[in-house]
Each structure stands twice: as C-alpha cells, then as structure tokens.
C-alpha cells in the first residue's frame, strides 16, 4: 500500500491543479493525413454539442497524443486528444454540460470528454474501477466484492479539494478521494463485508 505524506500529497494536488484548464477527448476518429487545423475545428465542433459554444479561438492547445490508432478486439481505438482552453471557466462549463452517456441510446457516447488527470489520479481512478468491476473470485488487496450495488456508475475528478468522486449503482456517493486508501476506507465503512480475510 502506497503511503503519501502531506508534502507529497500537496505536490500531487498542485500538479493536478496545473491541468485545471485541460480536458482529454477520447474516441474521436483519426483520418489519414489529419491536419492540425482540421483537428482543432473538429474538436471545437464536438465540444459545442455540449450546448456551450466553443470556437477554435477558445482553445490554446489541441494535440493528438499519438499518431497511431490501436486495434483492440478488432475495434479501432483512435488516440486521445489533449485540449487546453484559454479560459478555465469555459472548460468548466463544457465539462459540466457535455454528457458522456447517451440516454437515448442507453450507452456511452462514441466521443467522450474527461478532465485531464495526472498519472497519480489516473492510477487511483483505474484502481477504483478495477476493484468495483472485480468478480467474487478475484483476489484484491482490499477483499472481494459480494454486493452487486458496488458496481460503479461513474468515477470522476471534481476539484483540488474534493479530488475524485465515486457514484455507485446503489446511489451511494463518495468524494474527497486523493489516494486509493481514501476510497478503500470509505467502502469498508459503508460495506464492511467487502473486506475479507484471505
């Protein structure tokens, strides 16, 4: 279990704070010979579907994180895009308005938008999903799951103060998560049975 002291945690929060104006766009197809001007225009159009008007001049950086499209289980996965806004307020408005879940199709949208996360928060978020999506027979550091209500609805970053927030299928909500241990303690307190001695 990783121990993070106050100074280290302060550095983690500061690093994440430096990304307060940045989002990551996932799932936007990458055409052959993609031009930067075309990419910026397309990203602005996609972000505008949130209901918040976004123009190319609102974006200071639009950058593909790779030149290669991966193929996973026969499905092409385009590289993600880092998008930096000129104004944090514009980014906040878009992030609040853009819905990654399509209520009509009842599934995740093809193109999704997330707050850009540091490696630390990305790891914590992935670990939370890994735990919540585990099966009763899986070996986990913090025990096995026996309650279907412990399925995740979403895990998202909120702010330097609130850190990551977790919404479960049960409706339970947890925030203030900056380390995996914060999440584990919250889950143990709410669902003691999910902590099992091996």
Best mean pLDDT range from 20-24, 76-80, 108-112, 151-155: 20-24
Quote the mean pLDDT of the chain: 86
pLDDT computed for residue 28 by the predictor: 95
Three-state secondary structure call for residue 78: coil
Model pLDDT for residues 110-139, shown as the tens digit of each residue: 999 999 999 999 999 999 988 888 766 555
Q: Kindly state the average pLDDT of the residues 91-104.
A: 89
76 pLDDT more than 50: yes
Compute the Cα dihedral for 132, 134, 139, 144 and give only its sign: positive
Q: How confident is the model at residue 154 (pLDDT cuts 50, 70, 90)?
A: confident
For residue 197, what pLDDT is reported?
A: 41
Task: Please say whether the beta carbons of 97 and 52 come within 8 A.
Answer: yes
Helix, strand, coil share of the chain (percent; to 5) = 35, 25, 40
The pLDDT, as a whole number, for residue 74 is 81
The confidence score (pLDDT) of residue 141 equals 53
Q: Check: CB of residue 149 under 8 Å from CB of residue 143.
A: no
């Amino acid at each position: 279990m990783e121990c993070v002291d106050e100074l280290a945690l302060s550095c983690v929060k500061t690093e994440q704070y430096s990304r307060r104006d940045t989002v990551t766009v996932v799932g936007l197809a990458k055409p052959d010979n993609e031009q930067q001007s075309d990419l910026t225009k397309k990203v602005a159009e996609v972000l505008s579907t949130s209901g918040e008007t976004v123009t190319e001049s609102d974006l200071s950086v639009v950058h593909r994180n790779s030149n290669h499209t991966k193929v996973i289980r026969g499905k092409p996965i385009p590289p993600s895009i880092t998008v930096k806004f000129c104004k944090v307020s514009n980014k906040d408005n878009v992030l609040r308005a853009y819905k990654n879940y399509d209520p009509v199709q009842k599934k995740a949208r093809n193109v999704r938008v997330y707050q850009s996360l540091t490696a630390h928060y990305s790891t914590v978020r992935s670990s939370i999903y890994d735990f919540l999506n585990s099966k009763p027979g899986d070996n986990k550091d913090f025990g096995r799951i026996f309650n279907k209500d412990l399925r995740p609805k979403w895990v998202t970053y909120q702010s330097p103060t609130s850190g990551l927030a977790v919404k479960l299928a049960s409706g339970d909500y947890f925030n203030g998560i900056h380390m995996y241990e914060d999440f584990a303690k919250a889950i143990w307190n709410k669902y003691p049975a999910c902590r099992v001695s091996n």
